[in-house]
Amino acid sequence: TYVIAEPCVDLLDKACIEECPVDCIYEGGRMMYIHPDECVDCGACEPVCPVEAIYYEDDVPEQWAAYTKANADFFAELGSPGGASKVGKIEKDVEPAASLPPQSH
Ligand code: F3S
Ligand code: F3S
C-alpha cells in the first residue's frame, strides 16, 4: 500500500484523489488517509502531491513511520467502504495526526 504522512496535515491539497483509479484516498478531519486494503499500489498519487506526503510503504521516512499504522487505524471502525467519494469527509483523525499542533504551510 501507499501511505500518506505528516506533510498532508492541515493542508489536504487533494491533487492525489484525482489520480487514484480505485478512489481509495479518504478525507479525515486534518489529513487524507489511504485505505491499505483498497489501494492497488499503482503509484499514480505519489508524484502529484505538492508537499511529497505520499510514499510506498517501504519508503516512508523514519520520522513519519507511525503514519503507516495511522493510515490503517483510520479504517478500524469504517471497514472497507469501497470508495471514498460516496463516503465524503469524515470528521476524525488518528494518532499521530490527531495530537499535532496546527500546521502551517
Ligand atoms: Fe494530502 Fe498531498 Fe493528497 S497534501 S491531500 S496527500 S495531494
Ligand atoms: Fe490509489 Fe494508486 Fe495511490 S491505488 S492510493 S493512486 S497508489
pLDDT in tens, 20-61: 999 999 999 999 999 999 999 999 999 999 999 999 999 999
Cα 32 to ligand 1 centre (Å): 7
Residue showing cell 487533494? 14
Which phi and psi (to 5°) does residue 8 adopt?
A: -75, -25
**Facing residues of 3 across strands?**
55
- This model of the complex carries an ipTM of 0.98
Say if pTM beats, i.e. exceeds, 0.95: yes
The number of beta carbons lying within 10 Å of the beta carbon of residue 102 is 7
Cα 7 to ligand 2 centre (Å): 17
Cα gap 81→61, rounded to integer Å: 28
- The CA dihedral of 2, 77, 10, 66, to the nearest 10 degrees, is -50
